[in-house]
Chains A and B, each alone.
Chain A
């Protein structure tokens, strides 16, 4: 079936380095993608989104890249800080305009001081 997945369950980076979290999706009809951050015991928090008619979008310290050719999504975090430690999920809207998001399994980002 259709699914959204992440390449690595855990990513460990040094404080101050840049982080790259990857996600592969399988539904070519998906037209909207979101990255969420989830800290322990909390609900997912919106980070950044991108529509399928774009290939890059920047926020504050974060950049999302979309490669529709290979169905790949990535989240780049610049100058990673201890507060960035969390689980990161990518999610795709299946293109039905219903708002139904399909979430991947998540990547745990660990920031070493």
Chain B
């Protein structure tokens, strides 16, 4: 069964450093999402792409976070500089052009020290 691939699985960094996460959605899925999940809470949307275009980034802290999906396939989420409060699970999800059922990857667990 096709899956959403994410890497790295874990990332430990010091505050003020830059970090990057990568996501490869299920083949053919035009819509890609980045969610952040703080321990004990539900995922919260950071950014949504339709092909290579950003559809919704209203919850993305743009002073330090950036996301791109240059060729409309895989995507990168970057944080620079990282802060202690950024420690969380970063989840990537994708869906077909009918944007309802989202398929999630295993996530990147970020720890900022």
Number of A-B residue pairs having CB atoms within 8 Å of each other in the complex: 57
Spell out B's residues near A (CB within 8 Å). 4, 31, 33, 40-45, 48, 55-56, 91, 93, 95, 99-107, 109
Contact, CB under 8 Å: A103 / B42: yes
Contact check, B100 vs A49: say whether CB atoms are below 8 A apart.
yes
Cα distance, A101 to B48, chains bound together (Å):
11
Contact between A43 and B99 (Cβ–Cβ < 8 Å)? no
A9 to chain B minimum Cβ distance, whole angstroms, is: 9
Contact B99 A46 (CB under 8 A): no
Q: Which residues of A are in contact with B by a Cβ distance under 8 Å?
A: 4, 32, 34, 36, 41-46, 49, 89, 91, 93, 97-101, 103-106
Residue pair B106, A104 in contact (C-beta under 8 Å): no
A34-B102, A49-B100, A101-B45 are known contacts; what are 6 more A-B pairs with Cβ within 8 Å? A34-B100, A42-B106, A43-B105, A46-B102, A101-B102, A105-B40
Report the separation of the CA atoms of residues A42 and B41 in the bound assembly, to the nearest whole angstrom. 14
> Is the CB–CB distance between B107 and A43 below 8 Å?
yes
**Residues in A neighbouring B101, C-beta threshold 8 A:** 34, 46, 49
